[in-house]
């Protein structure tokens, strides 16, 4: 009997491959241009405008670019927390202090990640965030997010739920990645909003 980790059912795996193929066709210029538009749209969100602490992440490869957004939030005086991948795929956190505070870290055979080089704040640091920016490959009309399948953010969302805290959950995507329906599992949680380079989509199910 095969043991599939959460989020690794065949329908999700196939859908992930399809979205990753589309992303792989993007050029560096495509990613740069959409990153500035994505930052502008995200900064219009009231949830970010009033946030004192935002948990975010550093995009890699052809993911929707986040560095422009991180710099804009940091310049506003927002405390930005960035993830540090642990050996068990859980996430620790560190504070962002500009692009010079990032270190490139390779985890086994995976793609190298840019992680905060400063003090580790512990996995529970995310509980103090007013908003959590989530990576993903797609979101559907109910706000259900298709992640990359590693389970790291499933752990983060479960940690938030166990603690009874309710930050704004926002997924950052390309325009074509807002779809009618993605497969879901019992542990999946809807997000409150999706930000793409062309605008913001809000979801009632998560409100």
Nearest to 154 by CA among 184, 174, 131, 125: 184
SS3 68: helix
100 annotated as ligand-binding: no
94 annotated binding-site participant: no
| 110 labelled ligand-binding | no
Q: Is 17 annotated as a binding residue?
A: no
* CB environment 80-92: b (16+ within 10 A), e (fewer): bbbbbbeeeeebb
Does 147 show up as a binding residue in the annotation? yes
* Residue 151, marked binder: yes
Confirm or deny that 65 is annotated as ligand binding.
Answer: no
> Is 126 annotated for ligand binding?
no
Residue 149, annotated as binding a ligand: yes
- 144 marked as binding residue: no
169 in a known ligand binding site: no
Establish whether 77 is an annotated binding residue. Answer: no
The residues, any chain, with a CB within 8 Å of residue 181's CB and separated by 6 or more, are 140, 141, 142, 144
Q: Identify the burial level of 35 via C-beta atoms within 10 angstroms of its C-beta, where 0-12 means exposed, 13-18 middle and 19 or more buried.
A: buried
Binding residues: 12-16, 58, 63, 145-153
Residue list for the binding site for ATP? 12-16, 145-153
Residue numbers in the known binding site for substrate are 58, 63
């Amino acid at each position: 009997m095969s043991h599939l980790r959460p989020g690794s059912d065949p329908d999700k795996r196939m859908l992930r491959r399809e979205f990753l193929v589309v992303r792989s066709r993007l050029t560096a210029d495509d990613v740069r241009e959409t990153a500035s538009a994505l930052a502008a749209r995200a900064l219009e969100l009231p949830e970010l405008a009033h946030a004192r602490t935002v948990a975010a992440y550093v995009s890699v490869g052809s993911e929707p670019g986040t560095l422009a957004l991180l710099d804009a939030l940091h310049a506003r005086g927002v405390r930005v927390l960035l993830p540090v991948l642990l050996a068990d795929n859980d996430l620790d956190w560190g504070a962002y202090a500009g692009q010079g505070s990032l270190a490139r870290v390779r985890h086994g055979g995976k793609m190298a990640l840019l992680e905060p080089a400063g003090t580790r704040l512990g996995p529970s640091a995310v509980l103090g965030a007013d908003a959590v920016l989530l990576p993903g490959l797609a979101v559907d009309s109910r706000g259900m997010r298709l992640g990359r399948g590693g389970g790291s953010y499933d752990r983060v969302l479960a940690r938030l739920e166990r603690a009874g805290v309710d930050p704004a959950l926002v997924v950052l995507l390309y325009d074509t990645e807002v779809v009618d329906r993605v497969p879901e599992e019992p542990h999946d949680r809807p997000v409150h909003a999706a930000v793409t380079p062309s605008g913001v989509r809000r979801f009632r199910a998560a409100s």
